[in-house]
Amino acid sequence: MDKDVIVIGGGPGGYVAAIRAAQLGLKVVVIEKDKFGGTCLNRGCIPTKALYREAEILNILKNIEDYGISVDSYKINVKKIQDRKNSIVSQLVSGIEQLMKANAVEVVYGRAELIDKNTVNVAIDNEEDRSFHGKNIIIATGSCPYIPDMPGKNLEGVITSDELLEFEEVPEELVVLGGGVIGMEFAGIFSAMGSKVTVIKASANMFPEEDSDIVKRFTASVKRKGIKLFASTKIKDIYRKENKIIIEIENSKGTSTVLADKILVSKGRRPVFSGLNLDRLGIKYNKKGIEVNENYETNIEGIYAIGDVNGITLLAHAASYQGVWVAEKIAGLETPKKASPVPNCIFVFPEIASIGLSEDKAKEKGIDYNVSKFMFGANGKALTLGETEGFVKIVSKASDNTILGVHIMGPHASDLIHEGALAVSNKLNLNHIKNTIHAHPTLAEAFSEAVLGLNCEAIHIANKKRNK
């Protein structure tokens, strides 16, 4: 065999798997059809967070007088925003390429096709095809935006997140179809930039996987910020009239129309594996992705599928975790019996992050639980930041207050959630957190206080006599 591992796809699953396999002494080749970093780095996590930062600054400027500062005027320079975003992406892509060299991973740019369980053919532009033979194959080809069969899907101005990231001007009116994590992130960003934003969602719940307490408060917060929300709403028709796109909608209040300059279709993502010839090898898959077992191995021994393409958890950090898991399994290391819980972060205003069991799920499962919340309005650091909206919510096992879930809406939720991740993953209880000193003044104190509230021991907020 030429290689120990053939990795198809250089996204956050593929390149991490390749590096870890190389660290363990395996001979590795990565086949990438475009750029390293996949959707996350090039068309997702990183570019959207660059724009999120722009929006964050704009939100501060809108309330700058609250800080005792006067700013006469400011304006948005879209070209500079795009240049900054693209520079960050280029720097990170280059960094991954350097990591490939540093770890002696062979890189081939082209389109991969499975020939048999040990052979991959690579079509390379303007060059002869190359074939690689390997003991193991890791498929890490990611996902792409999904546009369902819907009225007006082919109209000019009806776009996905890929196209919206490359905006050349801020749309006067932006309509988001679908909401959800991606849709609401863009809604917050463009609202801060001055767009009149409307979100139209077929279902009633904006974030079905999040704790309903978080969803309820965030929905109210979004409306206060001027974003229009239409939940449980059906699209009747979409068409252009003069320079505008017209969306006809229907819900319990009747029918009405919404105007748009751009429509972001945010209806989820679909796995990318066309052209790999899975059927030739008999690899099983469904509309959600390639089917795998607990070790992310397909029904064909030695062929694995990690990240978005297996449809388990469509998050970059989950893909990276799976990549390390598979690389270590291939190398003969003992892998955990069960995957770690995956934290979820939603970059909206304010941020949302969660891990583990929600209160809704605890009720549904009939678990005897305690719950506690600590509001950021009672946290000194949040007050100094001027970001007091939101709370930390803890769900624990009633018998011993082992932490089952952590749910945060508020400043730097995406950073704070990792203390929750450590607690949930390692089955820590109230006493473990109580005996860990939290620095003052920090946002992390809100986590500590929320945990202490499980036993009515919180200091900086009135404790309830009962936790639920």
Q: What is the pLDDT of residue 366?
A: 97
Whether CATH 3.50.50.60 fits 3-145+270-330: yes
CA distances from 61 to 52, 67, 76, 77, 226 (A): 14, 10, 12, 15, 17
Q: Which long-range contacts (CB under 8 A, 24 or more apart) does 90-97 make?
A: 92/37, 92/41, 92/46, 93/35, 93/36, 93/37, 93/41, 93/42, 96/10, 96/15, 96/36, 96/37, 96/41, 97/36
Tokens for 211, please give them.
């704790």
Rg (CA), the chain: 24
Residue 355 · residue 333 · CB < 8 Å: no
Across the chain, which has 468 residues, the per-10-residue mean pLDDT values are 94 98 98 95 96 97 94 94 98 98 97 97 93 97 93 94 96 94 96 97 91 96 95 95 94 95 95 95 96 97 98 97 98 90 97 97 97 97 97 97 98 98 97 97 98 95 67
Q: What is the pLDDT of residue 467?
A: 46
Residue 369 · residue 314 · CB < 8 Å: no
Residue 379 · residue 443 · CB < 8 Å: yes
pTM for this model (two decimals)? 0.95
- What residues does each domain of the chain span? 3-145+270-330, 158-267, 350-455
Quote the CA–CA distance of 21 and 330 in Å, as a whole number: 8
Cα 69 to chain centroid, rounded: 35
Residue 265 · residue 259 · CB < 8 Å: no
* Residue 396: other Cβ atoms inside 10 A: 27
Residues with catalytic annotation? 440
Instruction: Note whether 3-145+270-330 and 158-267 share their fold.
Output: yes
* CATH code at 350-455: 3.30.390.30
Quote the CA–CA distance of 214 and 203 in Å, as a whole number: 17
Q: What is the pLDDT of residue 337?
A: 84
Tokens for 304, please give them.
């694995």
Q: What is the pLDDT of residue 335?
A: 86
Establish whether the linkage from the previous residue to 350 is cis, with ω within 30° of 0. yes
Whether CATH 3.50.50.60 fits 158-267: yes
Cα 424 to chain centroid, rounded: 19
Q: What is the pLDDT of residue 463?
A: 82
Quote the CA–CA distance of 62 and 382 in Å, as a whole number: 18
Residue 392 · residue 446 · CB < 8 Å: yes
Q: What is the pLDDT of residue 465?
A: 61
